[in-house]
Amino acid sequence: MTLRVGIIGAGQVGERHAIAFAATEGATIAGIADIVEERAAALAECYGGIAVTDWRHLMDLDLDILVVGLPHNMHVDPAEAAAGQGVHVLMEKPIATTMEDGRQIVDLCQAAGVKLTMSFVHRFRDEAQFAKKWLDEGRVGLPQVIRSVMNAPRKPELPAWVAQKEAAGGGVMMYTAIHAIDRLRWLVGSEVTSVTAQIRRWDPDSEVEDGAVALLTFATGAVAASTANAPAYWAQPSVWETEIFGTEGMLRVTREAVEVSSNRLQTRLDTQTSASRLGQHYNFVRQAEEFVAAIQEDREPAITAEDGLKSLEVVLALYRSAETGETITL
């Protein structure tokens, strides 16, 4: 059975989802929606389907999967529409801007018996996959102290709503570094139990934070210092880096490699060629393939609705801590 896919949003992320599903066996793109007609038409011409300017028209195309790439505060309505027609949902992160909206989306999908997954595509990169495998194998023992850094300068082509509090729900933490929160939860295999944080806003035209520093405590006792920056000025190179110091060794993950260092083992695997071998957006393809397989096999997706709620909860706690100056217990 070939699953019919509708994509809301024909910007940068929408294009990556279109590339992914067009390359996925068992899926075909039925339609692409964007308020800019020319943008939707350009993607549809390249990857298939029809172009529409109102996402609601996608619901007339007998869809099996709806990819939601709207501004963060507009996720409930398409989720409700999809659930009402038995359509499975791939939701761009964050799941919503409030826990109430996030839970409503989850409840709608669960009540309708449709699958809901979150677009945490960093998990599907080679370096992250190998890091998770090595951690689960116990190569560094029990994680204790973690350092996470994300530097992703804000690109001028990003839509204006990204810097608007109501639409985005927040700045660098909500738009970008929520990936880091999800990745840490997944790698450590534990939930965050408390957050202490401060945020900074450098761009006077932005309503949201450009930088954040957080101390996260996990249920296992591990602690993580996490920083995230998205300045509007030129600040290269972009950095995604995580170091996990365990009871028996240290693991480092970058965009180019993953390595383990200990008294008994030193291993490094370069992954910078993955994009050239598999395609620049191979992690999006892997995500699409996994979701299609979950639907066909009638199982829970690898990245669950609960992952969306948990990561959002941590980010919102970070904002509360920054506002109050207090440590927030989850």
> Which tens digits make up the pLDDT trace of 104-118?
999 999 999 999 999
Could you tell me the pLDDT band of residue 98, with boundaries at 50, 70 and 90?
A: very high
Residue 170 CA, distance from chain mean position: 15
Complete DSSP assignment for 282-316: HHHHHHHHHHHHHHHTT---SS-HHHHHHHHHHHH
Distance CA 324, CA 192 (A): 19
pLDDT tens for each residue of 288-302: 999 999 999 999 999
d(CA 308, CA 292): 19
Mean pLDDT of 224-252: 93
3 state SS of 104: helix
Stretch 11-32: mean pLDDT: 97
Q: Residue range 147-166: average pLDDT? A: 87
Q: How far apart are CA 186 and CA 179, in angstroms?
A: 11
| Position 92 pLDDT exceeds 80 | yes
- At 54, is the secondary structure helix, strand, or coil? coil
Average pLDDT over residues 119-132: 97
Tens of pLDDT along 40-91? 999 999 999 999 999 999 999 999 999 999 999 999 999 999 999 999 999 9
- How would residue 272 be classed by pLDDT, with cut points 50, 70 and 90? confident
Please compute the mean of the pLDDT values over residues 197-222 and round it to a whole number.
94
Q: Enumerate domains of the chain plus CATH numbers.
A: 3-120+283-302 (3.40.50.720), 122-272+311-329 (3.30.360.10)
The answer to whether residue 252 scores a pLDDT higher than 80 is: yes
Confidence of residue 324 (pLDDT cuts 50, 70, 90): very high
d(CA 177, CA 152): 9
Residue 28: predicted pLDDT? 98
Question: Residue 68 in 3-state DSSP?
Answer: strand
Distance of CA 26 to the CA centre of its chain: 23
Q: How far, in Å, CA of 118 to CA of 111, rounded?
A: 18
Tokens of 161: 């709503």
Q: Which residue has the higher pLDDT, 205 or 112?
A: 112
Tokens for 96, please give them.
Answer: 């919503």
Task: Tell me which of 279 and 228 has the higher pLDDT.
Answer: 228
DSSP string, 150-171: EE-PPPTTS-GGGG-HHHHSSS
User: pLDDT tens-digit profile of 167-188?
Assistant: 999 999 999 999 999 999 999 9
Closest residue by Cα to residue 268 from 123, 136, 134: 134
CB atoms within 10 A of CB 144: 16
> Which SS3 state, helix, strand or coil, does residue 111 take?
helix
